[in-house]
Structure 1
């Protein structure tokens, strides 16, 4: 809506300003009126075309969102729900595609929720795989763990509480997860970075993820950054690309954006361009 208002104001300015300029310059009234009308018609046509493209893009995005949500719900044998801050269905569906296509078995997740449950459910169906999730919100972590136990998925997933502490990364200090208890020898095929929450005041709160967890990626490991279309995450993606030339990267326009870092370039072949 804000962008639509800006476009409307721009259209009004484009329509009125030339006529005012011609009038101030002493141009005859009729040519001035005709010129203003001609400019108005051109502006309306151009803005109408732009608005049409925006509406179509929104409808397409909503269609993909609903199709993904319905597809996940139809194949899951557990209750499926989404909150406003949860990973989007289309993003989760893409992550499930990566897990299935690449045969990923060990997942580390930062920020628990519906993704924890559904990936654990996928592993149960396959009979192999495990997800370890860290959350800074103890109450939320306990709720997620209770749901895992209720659905008998606790054999395929574990949620631990990790307090946020000061961590230095790329010359910057940020509040990030205390992973001191994580086994230094642990290796993961997939790391999902969906926390800490940026709404707590630091738009680049997720910056330390790759600096801390690069050593924990397996030989075919992937790290995915959710909400990658936001300004803070875009800045994080740029910083990672500068500091990790040994990895391969791709930005995927799905959901709220997904930025992928891969040890093996071939893993990116399973992502949309």
Structure 2
């Protein structure tokens, strides 16, 4: 039994590596880095970001910077605090703090650390058990987003979903599908992973059921971001 367990664990690791290999294009990181640095220069923001480990990669940084450079984004919902929270805060400051940003984080200590680097308040939300389309997961407790708002920019990079037991956690973000503005962009980070890939399918079906006109694309570099966009922001599908 011990041997079978070890073989099963090795197969899981190998399967994960192969899945990621065929769903990312690491060589594109250099290109997106150059584009991101060019946009930072336009915003007059210093490059002090660390796109390493589990943090945002240059593909995601580029995508955020370009969206804010080309669209008048009003209400942001960010799930998971980190490097992107800092980028959003600094771009917003450059643009006159016209955007409301709600960053959600489950870890109070990490939230406090990031809070020192950003102007927006970080909303700490405990993870609670939920069932989403038959999946039992841990996701943010009720009230993690403002239901009176219609969000035109949503970044899904939390809660943690990197282990076998937690990999489906981010499908909880399906709850926001009917709180999107007419003009919207939704970015699902880490879309090379099976759990986030499942969320992509769920969100696509939910938008179609509501009759929402949208386009979608995927950005492939060291990681994969899947993008849904609609209304005046639909051309983000060509970024």
TM over 0.5: yes
Deviations 1:58-114 (Å, cap 9, x if unpaired)? 5x3242254246446654147333341111122121122122212112111000111
Deviations 1:186-212 (Å, cap 9, x if unpaired)? 2221111001111243222111212x1
Contact persistence 1:65–1:88 (CA under 8 A)? no
Superposition pairs of residues 243-262 of structure 1, within 5 angstroms: 243-245=206-208, 246-247=211-212, 248-255=214-221, 256-262=223-229
Contact persistence 2:177–2:207 (CA under 8 A)? no
Q: Give the match for residue 167 of structure 2.
A: 203
Mapped to 2, the partners of 1:237 and 1:261 lie a distance apart of: 9
Paired residues, number:
209
Quickly say closer, same or farther: Cα 1:229–1:242, change in 2 above 3 A.
same
Contact persistence 1:221–1:262 (CA under 8 A)? yes
Q: Give the match for residue 80 of structure 2.
A: 111
Of structures 1 and 2, the one scoring higher in RCO (CA 8 A, sep 6+) is 2
Give the structure with higher Rg (CA).
1
Q: Give the match for residue 149 of structure 2.
A: 186
Mapped to 1, the partners of 2:148 and 2:29 lie a distance apart of: 42
Deviations 1:172-226 (Å, cap 9, x if unpaired)? 221101132643212221111001111243222111212x112321221222111
> Which structure 1 segments of 5+ residues have no match?
1-5, 7-53, 149-153
Instruction: Select the residue among 80, 91, 94 that pairs with 1:125.
Output: 94
Quickly say closer, same or farther: Cα 1:181–1:93, change in 2 above 3 A.
closer
Mapped to 1, the partners of 2:189 and 2:160 lie a distance apart of: 11
Structure 1 residue 115, shift from structure 2 partner: 0.8
- Secondary structure at the aligned position of 1:61 is classed as helix
Tell whether 2:66 aligns with 1:87: no
Structure richer in helix, relative to its length = 1
Tell whether 2:180 aligns with 1:217: yes
Moved over 3 A (4+): 68-75
- Secondary structure at the aligned position of 1:183 is classed as coil
Quickly say closer, same or farther: Cα 1:230–1:183, change in 2 above 3 A.
closer
Structure 1 residue 160, shift from structure 2 partner: 1.5
Superposition pairs of residues 142-153 of structure 1, within 5 angstroms: 142-148=112-118
Contact persistence 1:184–1:216 (CA under 8 A)? yes
Structure 1 residue 137, shift from structure 2 partner: 1.2
- Secondary structure at the aligned position of 2:167 is classed as coil
Mapped to 1, the partners of 2:194 and 2:238 lie a distance apart of: 22
Deviations 1:218-254 (Å, cap 9, x if unpaired)? 2212221111122222222123223330342413133
Q: TM-score, normalised by structure 2?
A: 0.77
Structure 1 residue 269, shift from structure 2 partner: 1.7
RMSD over aligned Cα, in angstroms?
2.5
